[in-house]
Amino acid sequence: MGFGAGLFGFAFVSNRSDFRNLDNISQKLSAIHILTYQVNSIFSYFVHVTTFLNRTDLPIRNENNQAQLNNTLKVLGEANNVLIKTLLSSNTHDGESFADSTIIAFLKNDICNYIEPLYKRSCLTATQGSQLGLLGLNSKFLQKANFWTGSFYANPTVANGLAAFTAFTSAATSDIIVIEAAYDFLTEYLMKSFEKEVEVQKKACLMLFLGMLAFAVISTGILQFSTIKRFGVIDKMIRRVLRIVPYEIVVENKVFGYYLIQEFKHEVEGLKLQR
The answer for residues whose C-beta is within 8 angstroms of residue 274's C-beta and 6 or more apart is 251, 252, 254
The verdict on 124 and 232 lying in the same domain is: no
The verdict on 211 and 229 lying in the same domain is: no
Calpha distance 199→205 (Å, rounded): 10
The verdict on 90 and 148 lying in the same domain is: yes
Percentages helix, strand, coil for the chain (3-state, rounded to 5) are 80, 0, 20
pLDDT tens series, the chain, 275 aa: 444 445 445 444 445 555 666 677 778 888 888 888 888 888 888 888 888 877 777 777 777 788 888 899 999 999 999 988 888 865 544 444 456 888 888 898 888 888 888 888 899 999 988 788 999 999 999 999 999 999 999 998 889 988 999 999 999 999 999 999 999 999 888 888 777 777 777 777 777 777 777 777 787 777 777 777 676 666 666 666 556 556 555 555 666 666 666 666 555 555 555 44
The verdict on 208 and 229 lying in the same domain is: no
The verdict on 131 and 243 lying in the same domain is: no
Distance linking the first and last C-alpha atoms of the chain: 53
The verdict on 174 and 235 lying in the same domain is: no
Q: Is 267 helix (H, G, I), strand (E, B) or coil?
A: coil
**H or E, element range at 92:** strand 92-93
Enclosing domain of residue 237: 222-263
The verdict on 22 and 154 lying in the same domain is: yes
Task: Indicate whether this model's pTM tops 0.75.
Answer: no
Structural domain total, the chain: 2
Calpha distance 218→222 (Å, rounded): 6
**H or E, element range at 96:** strand 96-97
What number of other Cβ atoms are within 10 A of residue 118's Cβ? Answer: 10
